[in-house]
Amino acid sequence: MTDATTIKLALGLPLIAALLTWLFGKRPNLREMFTLLTGAALLLVVASLAPQVFAGARPAVTLWEVMPGLAIAFQVEPLGLLFALVASSLWIVTTCYSIGYMRAHNEKHQTRYYACFAVAILAAIGAAMAQNMFTLFIFYEVLTLTTYPLVTHHGTESARKGGRTYLGILLSTSIAFLLLAVAWTWNIAGTLDFRPGGILEGKASQGTLFVLLALYAFGIGKAALMPFHRWLPAAMVAPTPVSALLHAVAVVKVGVFAIMKVAVYIFGIDLLHSTGISVPLMYMAAATILIASLVALTKDNLKARLAYSTISQLSYIVLGAALANSWGVIGGSIHIAMHAFGKITLFFCAGAIYVTTHKTEISDMRGIGRAMPVTTFAFLLGSLSVIGLPPFGGSWSKWYLAMGAAQADHGLLVAVLMISSLLNIAYLIPIPVRGFFLAPADGQQPPRVKEAPVFCVVPLCITAVGGLVLFFLAEVIVKLLVVIAPI
């Protein structure tokens, strides 16, 4: 199979899944079986590109040249390969989880749900493999539009209100800021191709570059930098598997992935470092890390607390890009994978608790660990990964980010990373502690062991263990990424 065929197949498989979902919508078992099979096939296809990328090759294909020098084109490079592997692998476990969750709730419009989910994965893979900013922008917008029906899935007034906030902020930021940044880059550089070292060196004044970087940072609203973050908590009205998609598999990860691509391949880390234009972005990211963590502490609703945790964690990746040095870029890039497995575990656990007990408030979860020991223990493992405690994958990304901050002589940012980890402990660990060590509230019967459906429990166990496995795979991931940010 040629490289072009492999890339086209990777893009086509989610589309095939969406079509089969509609075709077999009235036969749920077949509908979901085809989704799982195409998910597994996508992972194998993406993984088949890994040996070439590790060897230094860059598989590529151009689908359509819109005008000379501007095409919808794809190229698989190290950062894109990492993101594509994360998205394709988590699509499988999220589909398994969705089967248990959606059936347990007797959710309506499940065919629409699975079809939109598949197209969202197509958008994520398209963004991951984009060869230029034009292609990335197209798939970025496709992702926004195809996830809107998922956010408003329940059709209630609160769902529609959350959907309006979601769509309004993401579309307004991308049209007002990101589209302007893309057009301006094309005008300045004469190209939108992602190139090692960037395409803007010597093309504009420092002031122009500063404004351009700000347009990208705030135009990529999916990165959830404050103050353009409200769409993420608003979207928590969606079913829990959709929250997992938003926070771990596709949406927010496309945002921070795009920030990293812009830093490395549009500006270039040498240009960012020499001009110092990314320093304000560093501190904006640091402020988001701390403020979102403090807000998370105040939230009693479990999904709301996890939403603000995600806002904080995303800014670790933005910070890594803004540090504009090798350790920062590697740390931020690794965090895309490490955070994905940790956070999806937490959302899976939140959904499992809701499916079984219909509880959403943390204050009502006293003794939940005695009734759902597997789920609560998995929540603990996911929490430790997000916190960054060895031997979980999050420890490596935070270590590299701290090294990047130290290398850039920003001691205050090292302190921010350390304080944020303590805040992670403060808003995550009390949940399993409350579940395992506190008795149910007065008047409640002692709980009996009853876990969520097996299709919910197995995926959350897999992703919880995945956070541990990633700790031991960090060297392989660094070897992949060191090409784009030589140490």
Backbone angles phi, psi at 72, to 5 degrees: -85, 105
Average pLDDT value over all residues in the chain: 93
Across residues 454-470, what is the average pLDDT?
95
Residue 249 has a pLDDT of 76
Packing angle, helices 326-357 and 251-261, rounded to 10: 180
**Six token digits for residue 460:** 């959350």
More confident residue, 18 or 105: 18
Q: Are 420 and 397 in contact (CB under 8 A)?
A: no
**d(C-alpha 92, C-alpha 85), whole Å:** 11
Packing angle, helices 454-481 and 78-104, rounded to 10: 170
Partners of 402 in beta bridges: none
Backbone angles phi, psi at 301, to 5 degrees: -70, 125
- Of 32, 38, 40, nearest to 14 by C-alpha is 38
Separation of CA 37 from chain center:
23
Backbone angles phi, psi at 132, to 5 degrees: -150, 170
**Six token digits for residue 223:** 């990165």
Residue 251 has a pLDDT of 86
Across residues 100-113, what is the average pLDDT?
86
**Six token digits for residue 301:** 């609703």
Give the pLDDT band of residue 438 (cuts 50, 70, 90).
confident
**d(C-alpha 38, C-alpha 10), whole Å:** 10
Across residues 387-395, what is the average pLDDT?
94
- Of 240, 17, 233, nearest to 107 by C-alpha is 240
**d(C-alpha 332, C-alpha 251), whole Å:** 17
- Of 258, 219, 251, nearest to 235 by C-alpha is 251
Residue type, 78: P
Give the pLDDT band of residue 190 (cuts 50, 70, 90).
very high
- Report the SS3 class of residue 105: coil
**d(C-alpha 336, C-alpha 342), whole Å:** 10
Across residues 396-424, what is the average pLDDT?
95
Residues with Cβ within 8 Å of 216's Cβ and at least 6 positions away in sequence, in order, are 177, 178, 181, 259, 262, 266
Residue 446 has a pLDDT of 53
The burial of 26, by beta-carbon neighbours within 10 Å (0-12 exposed, 13-18 middle, 19 or more buried), is given as exposed
- Of 41, 27, 54, nearest to 477 by C-alpha is 54
Across residues 211-235, what is the average pLDDT?
93
- Give whole-number Cα distances, 231 to 46, 50, 180, in Å: 30, 34, 21
- Report the SS3 class of residue 67: strand
The burial of 3, by beta-carbon neighbours within 10 Å (0-12 exposed, 13-18 middle, 19 or more buried), is given as middle
Give the pLDDT band of residue 107 (cuts 50, 70, 90).
confident
User: Containing H/E element for 71?
Assistant: strand 70-75
Is the Cα torsion angle 38, 40, 41, 43 positive or negative in sign?
positive
Residue type, 132: N
Residues 20-57 pLDDT 10s: 999 998 898 999 999 999 999 999 999 999 999 999 99
**Six token digits for residue 127:** 């963004």
**Six token digits for residue 474:** 């960090």
**Beta-carbon neighbour count of residue 409 at 10 Å?**
7
**d(C-alpha 391, C-alpha 403), whole Å:** 18
| pLDDT score of 409 more than 70 | yes
- Of 351, 343, 431, nearest to 388 by C-alpha is 343
**d(C-alpha 99, C-alpha 454), whole Å:** 10
Residue 447 has a pLDDT of 62
More confident residue, 241 or 127: 127
The burial of 422, by beta-carbon neighbours within 10 Å (0-12 exposed, 13-18 middle, 19 or more buried), is given as exposed
